[in-house]
Amino acid sequence: MSKVFYVPLHRGAPDAELRAKVEALFAAADLGRCFHENDLTPVKLHVGEPGTKTFVSPALARELVRLVAGTGAVPFLTDTAVLYKSPRDSGPGHARVAWEHGFTLDATGAPFVPADGLRGSDEVSVAVGGQHYDEVAIASGIAQARSLLVLSHATGHLGTGFGGALKNLGMGCASRQGKLRQHHGQHPRIDPETCRVCGTCAEWCPTESIEVGEETAVIREETCIGCGECVATCREGAVEFDWSVMGRELQERIVEHAAAIVRGKPGRIAYVTDATAITKDCDCLGLEQEPVLPDLGLLASRDPVAIDQAVLELVRERAGHSIEALSYPDRDARYQIEHAVTMGLGESRVELVTVSP
Ligand code: SF4
Ligand code: SF4
């Protein structure tokens, strides 16, 4: 059985209350033991797609940055490039969105440094020996760090029913190639109606798999390695891939990427989940969303499985429904947890300890 520590909190609580509660949670869960002197420590969060408002607050990031820095480690805020068309599909664009959403050095005490470089392709291949992959592609800024703080926002999710710590780890810490492999098993294709035959994708393709004809560019599947460079570099949105991997298979793929990270940093990963402003969709949806239930609070643990399980139990207890019932009822959020237990990532039996500041 794993312990998960919990403190009730409302979004927008006064700074003094937030600080006292985060300090109490950090101490109770003994998160400080994960960080050592001079560790370059990523604080992995989601800065929110432009248009959304319910991402984790810079104030929460600030309190955690302060506590991590207090251990002698050197925290920085980070995230990875997205696959879809967005300012967050490159390092500079992502840094700008982080700044626009208040994740500035002044406000949080740490710089935002994209973990996967300029275009989402700075990555390290990590052996995992899973059901779907022998190796997975993880952002180098995550893979090379000795310790890690996973700061997640609990939400529903179109593909998995729930997004928490495991998803923040498995999908959120993967490079673009890693994400692409989770979402589909095929190669991208180019839409001839949208292609402007500019040739940019062919210039960037590392395997020379794109032929630029007179009317459209075409991908040669035999040599394509599915790196997604063409998806990122086409500014016309002409390179498409299907998002058909959903549900259980997507959950297994996410967990196998998470396993690569967890196994690489035994005892050195801390998890904090913000279970306030829980929305139907994740923070990648560039729209303002209304929460689907009242704020629960903050949770902390050193077990990624237990902290996700604890959120699911709290939601069910407070709402009287599962998170899937509030988001995507066809999904089974528990399956991700079961697969993570099978992969040895943590425990699904949880002792929830309420903390008082
Ligand atoms: S970058 Fe986009 S528009 Fe240009 S050739 Fe490639 S697919 Fe066509
Ligand atoms: S996915 Fe990578 S290898 Fe395949 S065509 Fe696109 S750039 Fe080339």
Same domain, 26 and 152: yes
Same domain, 228 and 274: no
Distance CA 287, CA 298 (A): 24
Ligand 1 centroid distance, CA of 235 (Å): 8
Phi, psi of 218 (to 5 degrees): -135, 140
CA angle centred on 325, ends 321 and 331, rounded to 5°: 130
The helix-helix angle for 333-342 and 247-264 (nearest 10°) equals 40
Q: Ligand 2 pocket test: which of 229, 231, 233, 242 has the largest number of ligand atoms within 8 Å of its C-beta?
A: 229
CA of 204, closest atom in ligand 2? 7
Residue 311's domain comprises 2-181+244-354
- Whether the predicted pLDDT of 190 surpasses 70: yes
Say how many domains are in the chain.
Answer: 2
Q: Ligand 1 pocket test: which of 201, 229, 233 has the largest number of ligand atoms within 8 Å of its C-beta?
A: 201
> What is the largest distance, in Å, between two alpha-carbon atoms of the chain?
68
Decide: 80 and 172 in contact? Cβ < 8 Å. yes
Same domain, 201 and 121: no
Give, as one character, the DSSP assignment of residue 57. P
Same domain, 10 and 142: yes
Distance CA 310, CA 272 (A): 12
Phi, psi of 168 (to 5 degrees): -60, -35
Ligand 2 centroid distance, CA of 122 (Å): 15
Phi, psi of 270 (to 5 degrees): -105, 145
Decide: 245 and 184 in contact? Cβ < 8 Å. yes
Same domain, 160 and 102: yes
pLDDT per position as a tens digit, 224-249: 877 677 876 788 889 887 665 667 88
Pairing between β-strand 239-240 and β-strand 189-190 as defined by DSSP bridges? antiparallel
Minimum CA distance residue for ligand 2 atom 8? 205
pLDDT per position as a tens digit, 325-336: 888 888 899 999
b/e for 68-89, b at 16 or more Cβ within 10 A?
beebebebbbbbbbbbeebbbb
Q: Give the CATH number for residue 16.
A: 3.40.50
pLDDT per position as a tens digit, 26-58: 999 999 999 999 999 999 999 999 999 999 999
Decide: 154 and 278 in contact? Cβ < 8 Å. yes
- Does any ligand 1 atom lie closer than 6 A to the CB of residue 234? yes
Q: How confident is the model at residue 348 (pLDDT cuts 50, 70, 90)?
A: very high
Minimum CA distance residue for ligand 2 atom 4? 224
Same domain, 123 and 272: yes
pLDDT reported for residue 32: 98
More confident residue, 121 or 29: 29
Same domain, 234 and 112: no
